[in-house]
Amino acid sequence: MEHRMWAHPFDRPIKLDEDKTWGVGPNPDAVTGYDGIGWHSHFVDHESGEVYQVACSDGVNGGKGAHRPEHERWMEAARQVLWEGAKVVLDNGGSEYRISAREWNLLSNYIMQWLDAPTGATTGVVGTSHGLPVVVDPGLAPLVGNPP
């Protein structure tokens, strides 16, 4: 499996059976013998469909997530825009909230914070937000633009 330093914000996170953890930063004084934990996060490339992994870690000496810090800030702002968009559609009497496949991939990083009832689907109705069905339309362009 290919290893990348960082995940693209539009790449979809996935869970694999290979998701294991390991010790990072050996320290004989630490209870576990290490200062932190390492793991691989897995993603599907939004352009090629290739599955790849990104090494991540946490611990007393800081850590490394799957996305670049500037992408994480952009992703959080984009998530907020999309979440607020669902509220606007609901307030205006809309019956569904349509988003692009790239936006769905981005939101998959926040699924527990964003959807009331996820369905597990990747297209069509993927769940609800504010009680409103969220529909992934592969033909839509992302409203949130592109990451920096």
Give the tens place of pLDDT for each residue, 93-124. Answer: 999 999 999 999 998 888 767 777 778 888 89
Mean pLDDT of all residues in the chain?
88
* Residue 84, token pair as written in the block: 């607020």
Domain range list for the chain: 2-59, 69-136
Residue 48 has pLDDT above 90, yes or no: yes
Question: What pLDDT is recorded for position 20?
Answer: 83
Higher per-residue confidence, 40 vs 83:
40
Residue 19 has pLDDT above 70, yes or no: no
Confidence of residue 47 (pLDDT cuts 50, 70, 90): very high
pLDDT for the residue 18: 67
Handedness of CA 77, 78, 80, 81 (dihedral sign): positive
What's this model's pTM, rounded to 2 decimal places?
0.81
Residue 90: pLDDT band by 50, 70, 90 thresholds? confident
